[in-house]
Amino acid sequence: MTASQQAKAAGLKSLLHVQQLTGQSAQTLINWHRDKPELFRVVIAGCVALTNAR
């Protein structure tokens, strides 16, 4: 599963949405997905929580 697919599977619109919420570049998010999967999972969970809180 790609970083974008994982974001969408979590209920987010896209990886761009994650970029906007976190201020991180797409490349950084992709690198985290590849190199630090637990960090990426926590970032996605945080983005979901922020999105649902709005």
Q: Which residue has the tokens 């922020």?
A: 50
> Given a cut of 90, is residue 6 above it in pLDDT?
yes
Distances (CA, A) of 22 to 1, 38: 21, 16
Q: How far is CA 34 from CA 7, 25, 27, 28, 53, in A?
A: 14, 14, 10, 10, 28
Can you give the residue range of the structural domain that contains 41?
3-53
Q: How far is CA 4 from CA 24, 51, in A?
A: 14, 16
* Cα torsion 54, 15, 7, 45: sign: negative
Q: Report pLDDT digits (tens) over 15-52.
A: 999 999 999 999 999 999 999 999 999 999 999 999 99
Domain count, the chain: 1
| Confidence (pLDDT) at 54 | 77
